[in-house]
């Protein structure tokens, strides 16, 4: 088949761009807006933060949205398409025509995202939802909603950030060389210039430190977070985290959850990664050899690139399932992300 014929096949399946919304417009939400801007297959039409939302069926301008959010604190101030609201998600769902949402919301408390998803189910909205949830217990709350999502005509893609997400999917692929998977070890390095750009991410990470939990981290004032980071020189070292990579790999039949470990180092004062993010998958081949596959992310790729890219890749995969009438819940370990052009 010639390159022209292949192009023809791709074009013949061309369909209208997927209309995308972003819920949460902090560090990840803003990065997501920039990631999606140059894409032809998706158009970014809606976004919400805690105090308002913006909707424009023709498409939103990321620079204008980010400038408004950063200077005035909410997309609700955007001219002319912003609306201030203290029930922004509910209002947006009711008003906007959106095919799929990326949920870049904080999961504080640990039940918040599930409550947002219930709002979608109750509203009668149909489409694709993608999350970048981290905790096992948070993804388990979504698993419990599987039948309701299916009945509502929603295709829900769970755990589709970096970890869980990109690295879990890499582990699922690496596992194929083995007859038995002995361990999956995820180690991440994150470097960000200042913690305020990713408040929820850092608070949720603090919730994994010894002596802390989600509620304690949520209740901390900004000054308390800063005081804690001062004590550690801005570094958070995280071990044996409750991360949903475990339940996702177990559900995909790859290994039991106790064989999956996740840990990492976050530097909140330096955009350079403190270590290279990687996943090591150890197993036994059918010949009886024990070996380890290692997949390492490039050090120049930021957390935002490794979360938002996969999230939209899974949104595209979810949209193609949805078009075929396939609803319910899928995880990043059971569906391939599709590259968004
Ligand atoms: P952030 O604190 O920078 O921003 C949160 C945004 O959500 C803000 O715009 C805020 O206004 C908005 N928001 C809060 N409550 C809201 C509400 N009730 N209604 C509407 N909007 C609301 O957050 P962040 O650091 O970008 O993190 C977002 C999430 O992404 C976190 O839960 C984090 O754990 C997750 N994350 C996942 C991965 C992964 O690899 N899976 C990596 C990084 C972050």
Which among 64, 57, 62, 93 has a CA at the least distance from the CA of 78?
Answer: 64
Annotated catalytic residues are 134, 204, 208
Task: Please check whether residues 197 and 137 belong to one and the same domain.
Answer: no
Choose one of 24, 102, 157, 307 to mutate for the ligand 1 pocket test, by most ligand atoms within 8 angstroms of C-beta. 24
Residues 101-119, buried b or exposed e (16+ Cβ, 10 A)?
Answer: bbbbbbbbebebbbebbee
Residue 338 forms part of a structural domain: no
pLDDT at 9 over 80: no
How far from each other are the two terminal CA atoms of the chain, in whole angstroms?
22
Burial annotation 309-334 (CB, 10 A radius, 16+ → b, else e)? bbbbbbbbbbbbbbeeeebbbbbbbb
Structural domains of the chain, count: 2
Question: Which atom of ligand 1 is nearest the CA belonging to 204?
Answer: 34
Kindly give the number of the ligand 1 atom that is closest to the alpha carbon of 199. Answer: 2
* Ligand 1 mean position, distance from CA 106 (Å): 3
Judge whether 62 lies within some domain: yes
Contact 302, 271 (CB under 8 A): yes
Query: Once rounded to an integer, what is the mean pLDDT over residues 227-243?
Result: 96
**Tokens for 321?**
């399932």
106 lines ligand 1 (CB under 6 A): yes
The rounded Å distance from CA 96 to ligand 1 centre is: 21
Same domain, yes or no: 74 and 128: yes
Over residues 39-87, the pLDDT tens digits come to 999 999 999 999 999 999 999 999 999 999 999 999 999 999 999 999 9
Q: Which residue has the tokens 């993804």?
A: 139
For residues 73 and 55, membership in a common domain is answered with: yes
Q: Whose CA is nearest to atom 43 of ligand 1?
A: 201
Supply the pTM of this predicted model: 0.96
Q: In whole angstroms, give the CA distance from residue 37 to residue 59.
A: 9
pLDDT over 70, % of the chain = 97
Task: Sort 199 into a burial class: Cβ within 10 Å, 0-12 / 13-18 / 19+.
Answer: middle
pLDDT tens-digit profile of 284-326? 999 999 999 999 999 999 999 999 999 999 999 999 999 999 9
What's the CA-to-centroid distance between 240 and ligand 1, angstroms? 22
Do 325 and 208 share a domain, yes or no? Answer: no
* Residue with CA at minimum distance from ligand 1 atom 4: 26
Task: Note whether 39 and 183 are same-domain residues.
Answer: no
Residue 14 is predicted with a pLDDT of 65
Shared domain check, 245 and 144 = no
- Nearest residue (CA) to ligand 1, atom 39: 161
21 lines ligand 1 (CB under 6 A): no
Which residue's CA is the nearest one to ligand 1's atom 31? 106
Does ligand 1 have an atom closer than 6 angstroms to the CB of 200? yes
The answer to the question of residue 340 being in a domain is no
My answer on whether 93 and 173 are in the same domain is: no
What is the 104 CA–ligand 1 centroid distance (Å)?
A: 5
Nearest 5°: CA angle at 341, between 126 and 55?
45
Residue 17 and residue 138 in one domain: yes
Q: How much is the pLDDT for 141?
A: 98
User: Residue 12 — pLDDT band, cuts 50, 70, 90?
Assistant: very low
Range of the domain at 7: 3-162+304-331
Q: Is the pLDDT of residue 253 over 80?
A: yes
Task: Check whether residue 132 and residue 191 sit in a common domain.
Answer: no
Residue 283 Cβ < 6 Å to ligand 1: no
């Amino acid at each position: 088949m010639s390159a022209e014929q292949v192009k023809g096949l791709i074009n013949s399946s061309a369909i209208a761009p997927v209309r995308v919304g972003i819920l949460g417009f902090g560090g990840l939400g803003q990065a997501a807006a920039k990631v999606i801007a140059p894409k032809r297959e998706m158009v970014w039409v809606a976004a919400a933060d805690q105090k308002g939302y913006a909707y424009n069926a023709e498409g939103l301008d990321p620079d204008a949205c980010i400038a408004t959010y950063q200077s005035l604190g909410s997309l609700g101030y955007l001219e002319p398409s912003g609306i201030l609201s203290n029930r922004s998600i509910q209002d947006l769902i009711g008003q906007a025509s959106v095919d799929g949402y990326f949920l870049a919301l904080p999961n504080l408390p640990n039940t918040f995202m599930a409550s947002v998803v219930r709002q979608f189910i109750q509203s009668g909205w149909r489409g694709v939802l993608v999350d970048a949830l981290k905790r096992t217990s948070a993804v388990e709350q979504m698993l419990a909603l599987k039948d309701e999502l299916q009945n509502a005509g929603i295709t829900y893609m769970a755990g589709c950030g970096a970890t869980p997400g990109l690295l879990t999917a890499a582990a699922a692929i690496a596992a194929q060389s083995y007859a038995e998977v002995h361990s999956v070890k995820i180690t991440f390095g994150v470097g960000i210039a200042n913690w305020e750009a990713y408040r929820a991410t850092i608070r949720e990470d603090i919730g994994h430190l010894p002596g802390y939990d989600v509620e304690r981290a949520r209740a901390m004032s900004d000054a308390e977070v800063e005081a804690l980071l001062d004590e550690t020189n801005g570094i958070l070292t995280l071990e044996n985290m409750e991360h949903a990579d475990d339940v996702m790999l177990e559900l995909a039949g790859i290994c039991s959850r106790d064989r999956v470990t996740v840990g990492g180092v976050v530097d909140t004062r330096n955009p350079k990664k403190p270590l290279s993010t990687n996943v090591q998958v150890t197993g036994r081949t059918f010949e009886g050899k024990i070996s380890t596959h290692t997949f390492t992310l490039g050090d120049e790729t930021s957390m935002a690139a490794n979360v938002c890219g996969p999230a939209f890749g899974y949104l595209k995969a979810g949209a193609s399932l949805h078009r075929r009438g396939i609803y319910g819940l899928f995880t990043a370990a059971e569906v391939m992300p599709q590259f968004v052009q």
